[in-house]
Structure 1
Amino acid sequence: MARERATINIDIWSDADFRDLTAPAQSLYFKLTSHPKLDYCGCVEFHPGRLAAMSREMTSGDVMVAAQELSDKWFCVFDQSTDEVLVRSFLRHDGLMKQPRLAVSAAKAYGAIASNKIRAVVVHELQRFKRENPDLLAWEKPQVMTLLKQPAVSVRETRTDLEWDFPGFLPIHNLEATTDATANV
């Protein structure tokens, strides 16, 4: 069953970390959370050009800058080697783990994730959610029990340095290093 709606809690505007994001990073976050191909784990293909095409004024370079910011602030986990991105808090906030059948759908979606880094973060987030909500019926489902036994890594133990493959484009976070290097010349 395909997802038909995206759940965005309005208390996101009470989150100081979210409010500290730039407008392009917030926009990309909302694009990802409402993307029609977002799976039940919160994972979707990462194609900067396609994401940029969803807004008139956004370029692939803009998407990359916003993506790096979301990665640096641990809102998303990107793996360019598999062209995937995970909206880290999706499983925690979408409410699907409160519905045992959808929890099974999430476990099945986990099997389709190619990135080992993203898979490990999904498991960690699910284990964390289980500690906070131990009485959910989802934890009794065999597929979910199997998922919980997989390798887990906290998002804070991951690092994503996105590669910028756009001619003539110099990412902001590399601009300082270039400026410093040329200042000594």
Structure 2
Amino acid sequence: MPREFAKAWFSMFTDDDFACQDSGDKWLYMVLLGQPALNYAGVQPMNMRRWQRAMRDVSGTVPSEAEMHVRLNRMERRRYVFVDPDTGETLVRTFMRSDGVARQPNVLKSALRALAHVESPKLASVLASELDQLVMPEVKSDKVADDIAALNGAARTHLEGLAEGFAEPFPEPFPEGLPEPLAEGFQRPGETEPFPEPFPEGLEEGSVVVQVGVVSTDPALKVGEYACARDDDPTKTPSIPGSATNPDHEPPSRCTEHRDLPADVRVPPCGPCANFRKAHERWTERQSRRAAELRRAELDAVAAARKAEIDACDLCDDTGYRNRRVCDHDPDSDERNARGAAEVRSVLAEKGIA
């Protein structure tokens, strides 16, 4: 069943560690809990722009992406939230235990299925520990008990295999000292320019990359696909750029781990690479569409200029012809042509050619 609300536990506000956090960090934590993309395992795709919008103040000012990075770094140090920009996944660490997912067998099964689809080794390492602390319920139905046992085994195998060799302490998700991304500005609905195509995947809104987005969201987006929305090489420029305020830079077609492999080397099965490849394919489609639109606009401009010349000319017909010839819209051209022809005939006659 889909989540319809977020729980705010009373104990959070009497816990010294939580209460002593920066007020903005606490508010961001509540924003993360209130995202519809948060699954029962406590994982959601990074959607930086959506989170920024949710944190705007009474004046409409939103925190910058650099400020969001600082808050997420602080919350990861205190083990409230973990972020993996490489796969575009975010984890609210204690969500499964605090939300009581194990009390409802069907909800528990949804959480275990979600655990088996985590792509981040970092998050898998944290979640393997969380799964150890989750108490499996006693149910009367043998079938339900067997389903839970099978899903639990599959989730545990997936998490432990993915997290093998990946242990804390983790590097911070957003290293300090990186330049702050250009502010795009958040306008009210109706004031923004239309996107060249619907923004996919829950994204956007922004993270590594995003593209995305997100962005409006797409329920078909796989966890982590939003990480494909941005290009990490600012020296690249598209052959046909987007607008000045929304440049559509070419995204990479492979993840950071496999990006430097030669083109003829086969990349092993890799979820992040698949996400980057899809983002690059969408970018290529947008470039082709923009090229066609640009060519059509150029042809329309030429046609409009020709029509304006015809409308302003009293010598030619509506099709731009005069005396069965393309009109040059010059009222003196007939006289010049006749004079030139007479001069040619005179020269030919003098030489005895005429």
* Cα offsets for 1:29-80 (capped at 9, x unmatched): 1011111110111011123233112222322222111111101111111101
Q: TM-score, normalised by structure 2?
A: 0.43
Q: TM-score, normalised by structure 1?
A: 0.78
Asked which structure has the greater CA Rg, the reply is: 2
Residue 54 of structure 2 is aligned to residue 51 of structure 1: no
For residues 157 and 79 of structure 1, the distance between their equivalents in structure 2, rounded to whole angstroms, comes to 14
Q: Which residue of 2 aligns with 1:160?
A: 172
* Cα offsets for 1:115-171 (capped at 9, x unmatched): 1211221121010233xxx654487611023323441689854342414452489xx
Q: Which residue of 1 aligns with 2:130?
A: 125
The higher relative CO (CA closer than 8 Å, separation ≥ 6) is in 1
For residues 26 and 83 of structure 2, the distance between their equivalents in structure 1, rounded to whole angstroms, comes to 16
Query: Is the 2:116–2:154 contact (alpha carbons within 8 Å) kept by the matching residues of 1?
Result: no
Query: Is the 1:68–1:160 contact (alpha carbons within 8 Å) kept by the matching residues of 2?
Result: yes
Q: Which residue of 2 aligns with 1:15?
A: 15
State the percentage of identical aligned residues.
23
For residues 44 and 106 of structure 2, the distance between their equivalents in structure 1, rounded to whole angstroms, comes to 21
Letter in 1 for 2:83: F
Between 41-50 and 156-165, report the one with greater CA deviation: 156-165
Letter in 1 for 2:93: R
User: Is the alpha carbon distance of 1:35 and 1:135 closer, same or farther for their aligned partners in structure 2, counting shifts above 3 Å?
Assistant: closer
Residue 152 of structure 2 is aligned to residue 144 of structure 1: yes
For residues 132 and 45 of structure 2, the distance between their equivalents in structure 1, rounded to whole angstroms, comes to 24
For residues 148 and 111 of structure 1, the distance between their equivalents in structure 2, rounded to whole angstroms, comes to 8
For residues 43 and 2 of structure 1, the distance between their equivalents in structure 2, rounded to whole angstroms, comes to 14
What is the alpha-carbon root mean square deviation over aligned residues? Answer: 2.6
Query: Is the 1:79–1:117 contact (alpha carbons within 8 Å) kept by the matching residues of 2?
Result: yes
Residue 72 of structure 2 is aligned to residue 67 of structure 1: yes
Unaligned stretches of 5+ residues in structure 2: 184-354
For residues 145 and 93 of structure 2, the distance between their equivalents in structure 1, rounded to whole angstroms, comes to 19
Q: Which residue of 2 aligns with 1:183?
A: none
User: What count of residue pairs does the alignment treat as equivalent?
Assistant: 166
Question: Secondary structure of 1:112's match?
Answer: coil
Residue 105 of structure 2 is aligned to residue 100 of structure 1: yes
CA drift at 1:8: 1.7
